[in-house]
Homo-oligomer: A and B are copies of this chain.
Amino acid sequence: MSVLINISDQPISAPELLNDFESRLSSSGGVVSFSGVVRPDGKDTRVLGLFLQSYSPMTENGVEAAVEQALNRWPLEALSVYHRTGKIRTGETIVFVATASRHRRAAFEAADFLMDYLKTEAVFWKKEITETGEVWIEPREQDYQDNQRWQKSETN
């Protein structure tokens, strides 16, 4: 197993990280990546960027615990989680998750699960920087519903 977790203010290049990720694989059949890009359209106005605040080491500990859950639940060969903090401009990548498994369903589900964790439970606070000011954004109801899917299926 090869796991990388990185939470920092350094820029994220999804293609470069996917390239690094592939170089760590020996026998995986399926590789899934997710990248989240800062969108230009906010609630009411054009978004220039985000500011992401973390709380170390709670943020890191939480991501590690979610990664542990994913590893227990799916047969993964490798896993990467990169998340940016600080100021991130529109069009830049804020998060990158990659999973590898010989079963493609496992790779898809684990990436999906980790993204749901990052969107709803990971210890980050997010501020939108728009043309008209700055506003803190808390998760949408949809994000919580997405995350609850995994709790339901725990009981299967």
Q: Known contacts A32-B34, A36-B104, A104-B115: does B41 contact A27 (CB below 8 Å)? A: yes
Bound form: Cα–Cα A43–B40 in Å: 49
Minimum Cβ distance to chain B for residue A140 (Å): 11
Q: Say how many copies of this protein the assembly contains.
A: 2
Instruction: Decide if A54 is an interface residue (CB 8 Å cutoff).
Output: no
Stretch with Cβ within 8 A of B (4 or more), from A58-66, A105-113, A121-129: A105-113
Instruction: Decide if A141 is an interface residue (CB 8 Å cutoff).
Output: no
Minimum Cβ distance to chain B for residue A97 (Å): 10
Question: What are 22 A-to-B residue pairs whose CB atoms are below 8 Å?
Answer: A14-B31, A18-B33, A22-B37, A25-B37, A26-B40, A27-B40, A27-B41, A28-B39, A29-B36, A29-B37, A30-B34, A31-B36, A31-B37, A32-B32, A32-B34, A32-B111, A33-B33, A34-B107, A34-B108, A36-B104, A104-B115, A108-B108
A sample of 9 more A-B contacts (CB under 8 A), given A18-B33, A27-B41, A31-B36, is A15-B15, A15-B16, A15-B19, A25-B37, A26-B40, A29-B36, A30-B37, A34-B108, A108-B108
Q: Which A residues have a C-beta under 8 Å from some C-beta of B?
A: 14-16, 18-19, 22, 25-37, 39-41, 102, 104-105, 107-108, 111-112, 115, 119, 146
